[in-house]
Amino acid sequence: MDILNDEYYMRLALEIAAKAAGQTGINPVVGCVVVKEGRIIGIGTHLKRGTGHAEVHALQMAGDEAEGATVYVTLEPCSHYGKTPPCCERIIAAKAARVVVAAGDPNPQVSGKGISRLREEGIDVAVGVLEQDSQQMNEKFNKYITTKMPFVTLKTASTLDGKIASHTGDSRWVTGAVAREQVHTLRHQHEAIMVGIGTVLADDPLLNTRASVPAINPVRIIVDSTLRLPLSARVVTDRSIRTIVLASGHAAVDKRKSLEAAGVEVMECGNEAKVDLEIAMQKLGELEIGSILLEGGGLLNGAMLEAGLIDKIMLYFAAKIIGGEQAPGTFSFNGFEKMADAIELEQVKVEMAGEDICVTGYPVYKK
């Protein structure tokens, strides 16, 4: 076994997989490279849920040359019949000599079975090459497949003093063009985008991806406890994208019927005056929405953070200070009495986005 070669080809498989991020729905992104005698003879990636997996595409390209070859795949080959036949059987039929896997399948129902099946047929299997890279690439899938709850990424844009708008409500534009372009790519990479009704009333956004970014438009989710959403709002009148409104049990029945007649899906989430966000996440998971980009205002961001429902945080900071006691901030909630109780971020990464700064991390919730 040549570790350097294994990492080289696995990194290529990961790069191929990354190109399809956002296209596979609740399925993982997977890449595959088939190598024989130092030559790449097949490459493939999973392009869309319900279509051929990465291994199938790569082995089709390799053809008869796949016999005796090494198959590099970023996720454990499946061993069960789902929307497509098991990839393990395709690898076995191709008579591959060796399979190198980055990470095991986190699905409790299938985890380890693909690796075991290949080894039963005498195929040499190595596991764990660039495993962390594969795990991070499929962090959304990993959460959904094990919890049936969507992976939630919070994205905000604020000034250095933490303001997402001025005291008059003006927010165009907090950050520059590069950061805004990255956000549209983020939208493409999530199955849904979620905002609060305050954002819709203030900005009347379309909540889509820009034409300049090759992308799939995410489902629009609006948290609107009492159904204040106007029928004239662009998220209502534009029927090209699915729109879901999360409401409480106190919402007016007549308004619900009007929205539904306009093509909006209204989902009741709890019987209290406000939407129960945990119930909302469970119901969205049942709809097979596996990932959400949260672009809320301070109240929704704070409520989601307090409920422990945010998995990843991406904070874009513009090198600006706007001030204003009444200017809205990134998070609005009661907060903690002691600094020791604050929610900390782990795996923190700081990058430039044009002239802006992006801080990414994963919140650690104290039990």
Based on the number of CB atoms within 10 Å of its own CB, is 343 exposed (0-12), middle (13-18) or buried (19 or more)? Answer: middle
pLDDT value, residue 209: 85
Report how many helices (DSSP H) and strands (DSSP E) the chain contains, helices first. Answer: 12, 14
CB 234 within 8 A of CB 263: no
Residue 217 CB neighbour total at 10 angstroms: 16
Q: Which residues contact 176 (CB under 8 A, 6 or more apart)?
A: 318, 353, 354, 355, 356
pLDDT value, residue 160: 96
Q: Which residues contact 64 (CB under 8 A, 6 or more apart)?
A: none
The tokens describing 199, both together, are 């954002």
pLDDT value, residue 118: 96
Listed residue (23, 24, 91, 26) closest to 56, CA to CA: 91
pLDDT value, residue 161: 94
Listed residue (178, 134, 131, 231) closest to 357, CA to CA: 178
Residues in a beta bridge with 223? 196, 246
Q: How far is CA 340 from CA 109, 343, 345, 348, in A?
A: 39, 9, 13, 18
CB 32 within 8 A of CB 71: yes
Residues designated catalytic: 55
pLDDT value, residue 211: 61
pLDDT value, residue 49: 86
- Give mean pLDDT in consecutive 10-residue pieces for the chain, a chain of 367 residues: 84 96 91 96 92 93 96 92 81 97 90 94 96 96 96 97 92 92 91 96 90 77 97 96 96 96 97 95 97 96 96 97 93 92 96 97 92
Please state at what angle helix 87-94 crosses helix 54-62, rounded to 10 degrees: 20
pLDDT value, residue 213: 60
Listed residue (239, 245, 235, 193) closest to 216, CA to CA: 193
CA–CA distance, 363 with 302 (Å, rounded to integer): 13
CA–CA distance, 58 with 261 (Å, rounded to integer): 46
CA–CA distance, 272 with 239 (Å, rounded to integer): 30
Q: In what order do the strands lie in the sheet with 31-36?
A: 39-45, 31-36, 70-75, 98-103, 124-127
Q: What angle do CA 74, 80, 85 make, to 5 degrees?
A: 85
pLDDT value, residue 366: 85
DSSP 170-218: --TTSS-HHHHHHHHHHHHTSSEEEEEHHHHHHH-------TTS---PP
pLDDT value, residue 1: 55
Q: Which residues contact 25 (CB under 8 A, 6 or more apart)?
A: 48, 49, 191, 288, 290
pLDDT value, residue 223: 98
